[in-house]
Chains A and B, each alone.
Chain A
Amino acid sequence: QSVLTQPPSASGTPGQRVTISCSGSSSNIGSNTLNWYQQLPGTAPQLLIYSNDQRPSGVPDRFSGSKAGTSASLAISGLQSEDEADYFCAAWDDSLNGWVFGGGTKLTVL
C-alpha cells in the first residue's frame, strides 16, 4: 500500500489529453513539493516534473503538473505512442522523514 495514491491505469488515443492524479496528506503533498517520473520498461525512472509544475530541460511542454492542497495532477497533451509508460509521483514526508511514492499509473496509448 503506497502512501501516495494513484490510479493503477490510464489510457488515451494519440493526440488526446490525459491526466493522472496523485493524492496524499498534509505531511507530504500538503507541505512539500511534488515530483513526477516516467519509467519505460526495463529502465530507471526519469524526472518529468519537479517542484509541482517545473519541467527539467529536455522534457516536452506537452507534460505539465499542478498541485492543490494534498493532491496533484500530471497532464499529458497531444498524446503520443512513445508516452506509453509507467508514471509515478513522489514527495518528502515530514512525518515519516523519508520520500514517499505513488504506486504508479500504467498509461496505455490505444
Chain B
Amino acid sequence: EVQVVESGGGLVQPGGSLRLSCAASGFTFSTYAMSWVRQAPGKGVEWVSGISGSGDSTYYADSVKGRFTISRDNSKNTLHLQMNSLRAEDTAVYYCAKLGGAVDVWGKGTTVTVSS
C-alpha cells in the first residue's frame, strides 16, 4: 500500500524549533519529488516546501524561506522539515505529500501549535 506517515508535531513556543518527519512506503521514494503542505485551522491548504527526488533541489514558499529547511534520506525513505523561528501563524496541520500524477499521496498530517 502506498502511504506516508508524518510525525514530530507538537506545542512549541514562539521562536522555538521543531523537526517533522515523514516515513514513506509502497512506492519508489527516491524517484519522486516530495512536498510539505500545511493547513491552518479553518483555512485553505498552503504549499510550504518541496524537494526533488535526488534531494539536489529544494523549494520554499516565501512565508517560510530562511526559517524552514526540507531534506530527505532516500536510504531510509524519509522526508524531514526542520522548522526554526516558529511564529503563531505557523500553527497548522502539516501534511507530507507526493503531489502530481495519478499517484498522489497525502499523509494524515501532524499538528503544529505555536503558542506561549
Instruction: Please report A residues at the B interface, Cβ cutoff 8 Å.
Output: 2, 33, 35, 37, 39, 43-47, 50-51, 54, 56, 88, 90, 92, 97-104
Residue of B45, B47, B60 with highest tally of chain A CB at under 10 A = B45
Q: List 23 A-B contacts (CB under 8 A).
A: A2-B44, A33-B100, A35-B99, A35-B100, A39-B45, A44-B108, A44-B109, A45-B95, A46-B106, A50-B101, A51-B101, A51-B102, A56-B102, A88-B45, A92-B100, A98-B50, A98-B60, A99-B35, A99-B47, A101-B44, A101-B45, A101-B47, A104-B44
B86-116 residues at the A interface, CB under 8 angstroms: 95, 99-102, 104, 106-109
Query: Could you list which residues of chain B lie within 8 angstroms of chain A, going by C-beta atoms?
Result: 35, 37, 44-47, 50, 59-61, 95, 99-102, 104, 106-109
Contacts of A45 in B (CB 8 A): 45, 95, 106
Chain A nearest Cβ from B43, distance in angstroms: 8
In the docked arrangement, what's the CA distance between A33 and B95, Å? Answer: 22
Task: Tell me the number of A-to-B contacts counted with CB atoms below 8 Å.
Answer: 52
Consensus secondary structure, chain A interface = strand
Q: Which of B37, B44, B104, B108 contacts A102 (CB 8 A)?
A: B44
Which residue from B35, B45, B50, B61 sits with its C-beta under 8 Å from A104?
Answer: B45
The distance in angstroms between the C-alpha atoms of A98 and B104, with both chains bound, is 16
Which listed residue, B35, B44, B59, B102, touches A97 by the CB 8 Å rule? Answer: B59
Which chain A residues border B60 with CB–CB below 8 Å?
Answer: 98
Given that A44-B95, A44-B109 are contacting pairs, would A56 and B35 also be in contact in the complex, using a CB cutoff of 8 Å?
no
Task: Say yes or no: B59 contacts A98, CB within 8 Å.
Answer: yes
- Distance A43 CA – B45 CA, assembled complex (angstroms): 12
A51 and B103 CA atoms in complex are apart in Å by 11
Q: How far is the CA of A33 from the CA of B100 in the complex (A)?
A: 9
Output the least CB separation between A105 and chain B (Å).
10
Contact B44 A50 (CB under 8 A): no
Q: How far is the CB of B48 from chain A (nearest CB, A)?
A: 9
